[in-house]
């Protein structure tokens, strides 16, 4: 099998649908977020593997926005696309919709971005095909991925900063829900 140098976004798209059962629910009768996360990881793997033609691992779950609850008995459809490619990494964008199969009503329940990395059989990262952007949506998603990657790098640097000067944070004493005791 020959690997292409570039692939369109459409060549790697994956769509899955699953009926939500009572066994997928939480104590409130809604579909458990952890179950949805598991499905998100599965479709991200499928999409990334389809694009790279390699085994892929989850590097990070960049965003998961739970917008609306999913009910037992709804048909959930997940649509995954490669939004960005690096050398061995891919950002997979996933849209989750739930359909009431009795009324046909659709609702957008979740949007997620997961970074996957292609690996060879020895666990070494491998180069992935480039991305051909054909539509305005493809370009928009790629550009937004670049912005998210930049924000992620900034956050990572901030959290690794070990120079903590408590005087810089004295303003937090003004918040109603904290009390500082030394």
CATH architecture of the domain covering 6-174: Roll (3.10)
Cα–Cα distance for residue pair 26/49, rounded to 1 Å: 31
Q: What is the pLDDT of residue 165?
A: 59
Read off the pLDDT band of 6 (50, 70, 90).
very high
What is the residue whose two structure tokens read 């070990």?
A: 162
Contact 55, 90 (CB under 8 A): no
Cα–Cα distance for residue pair 121/40, rounded to 1 Å: 24
Q: What is the pLDDT of residue 46?
A: 98
Using CA atoms, how far residue 115 sits from 23, 46, 47, 48, in Å, is 29, 13, 11, 9
Using CA atoms, how far residue 138 sits from 25, 111, 159, in Å, is 34, 16, 31
3-state percent helix, strand, coil for the chain, nearest multiple of 5: 35, 35, 30
Read off the pLDDT band of 3 (50, 70, 90).
low
Domain ranges of the chain: 6-174
Q: For the segment 63-122, what is each residue's pLDDT rounded down to a tens digit?
A: 899 999 999 999 999 999 999 999 999 999 999 999 999 999 999 999 999 999 999 999
């Amino acid at each position: 099998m020959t690997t292409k140098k570039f692939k369109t976004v459409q060549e790697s798209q994956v769509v899955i649908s699953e009926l939500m059962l009572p066994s997928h629910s939480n104590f409130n009768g809604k579909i458990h977020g952890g179950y949805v996360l598991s499905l998100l990881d599965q479709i991200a793997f499928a999409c990334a593997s389809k694009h790279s033609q390699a085994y892929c691992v989850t590097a990070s779950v960049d965003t998961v926005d739970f917008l609306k609850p999913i009910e037992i008995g709804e048909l959930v459809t997940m649509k995954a696309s490669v939004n960005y490619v690096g050398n061995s990494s891919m950002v997979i964008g996933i849209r989750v919709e739930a359909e009431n199969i009795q009324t046909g009503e659709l609702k957008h329940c979740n949007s997620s971005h997961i970074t996957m990395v292609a690996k060879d059989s020895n666990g070494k990262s491998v180069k992935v095909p480039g991305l051909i952007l054909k539509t305005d949506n493809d370009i928009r998603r790629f550009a937004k991925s670049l912005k998210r990657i930049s924000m992620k790098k900034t956050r990572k640097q901030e959290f690794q900063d070990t120079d903590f000067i408590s005087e810089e944070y004295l303003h937090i004493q003004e918040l109603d829900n904290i009390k500082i005791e030394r």
